[in-house]
Structure 1
């Protein structure tokens, strides 16, 4: 296992796809992220699922594999997990989907979804807003709890 996984530039992967020589693409993002936008022909295997079933995946992944996520971090984690399980020929899409889209490479889009961090911020902000409004309407209400 290498300390730094081999990476593949979006332009190189795009050329391989256009030439019909694309490696197997495993997108390790959540199903919601994958449905929102993904590389055509890629397979969604969320990171937690990949970790749990990596031994089973070995029998299905005998060719070169490129791991994809939003920015590259989760793909590097997936590479480490699969390399520890004995899978060779692994590469990470350099810069992930962010770089793929920035390069103007083709994507398949589904309904737009907010990522989990944005959802949490919305809920937290809403709680602060409601608490503030209740505190104005009912003095001392913010002290109850």
Structure 2
């Protein structure tokens, strides 16, 4: 399987009309600002959306976007494994807005939601601290919580997946209103 192509924000700007833009962030992140015309299909909904994405790819190229480019590249690999060509925006919406390009917001207004990476960091860090504190104050077995989170982070890095992000993505503030 080949790694899908990527484009920079500047390259996308000049070719924006050639693409159907798919934002793979959570609905909450999408509501905090997305590329003009982007459709929100969260990463955890890519597999069930394969027929729809295949049809869209037949009409125009698919441009996958997330906050930094990591999730969109993951989605692009998933699509490529099903024979659906796509392109990922290098640097995601951060590079798009840093380049001075505007973002659109849903009709119900802008929502302020932390990026999924930030949500994972604060959750993992909090659980590690909780395990250490409870291990010192209550019972040493609570340190297994910290060890489990550490093992999960290593597994996440090695496999380029994140179970904690999948769980956090199901929380109400990360879903559509």
- TM-score (ref. length: structure 2): 0.62
Q: What displacement does 1:61 show? A: 2.7
- Per-residue displacement from partner, 1:75-134 (whole Å, max 9, x unpaired)? 11111111111113x111011111111101110241212242366379659x79xx8xxx
User: Which residue is equivalent to 2:167?
Assistant: none
* Residues 56, 62 of structure 2: 8 Å contact kept: no
CA RMSD of aligned residues (A): 2.7
Partner of 1:26, secondary structure, is strand
How many pairs were matched up? Answer: 130
- Which ranges in structure 2 are unaligned for 5 or more consecutive residues? 143-177
Secondary structure of the residue aligned to 2:21 is strand
d(CA) in 2 for partners of 1:75 and 1:82?
Answer: 10
Query: What is the DSSP-based 3-state SS (H/G/I as helix, E as strand, rest coil) of the residue aligned with 1:53?
Result: helix
Structure having the higher Rg: 1
Q: Tell whether 2:69 aligns with 1:72.
A: yes
Q: CA deviation at 1:143?
A: 3.4
Q: Does 1:26 find its partner at 2:26?
A: no
Q: Distance in 1 between matches of 2:79 and 2:138?
A: 51
Tell me whether 1:44 sits opposite 2:40 in the alignment.
Answer: yes
Is there any run of 5+ residues in structure 1 with no aligned partner, and where? 132-141
Q: Distance in 1 between matches of 2:127 and 2:45?
A: 29
Mapped partners of 1:84, 1:48: distance in 2: 16
Deviations 1:25-82 (A, max 9, x none): 0011111110111111001111110023324431233121111011111111111111
Displaced runs of 4 or more, over 4 A: 121-125
Match of 1:111 in 2: 111
Query: Structure 1 length normalisation: TM-score?
Result: 0.74
Deviates more, 1:106-115 or 1:66-75: 106-115
Q: What is the alpha-carbon distance in structure 2 between the residues aligned to residue 122 and residue 34 of structure 1?
A: 25
1:16 aligns with 2:15: yes
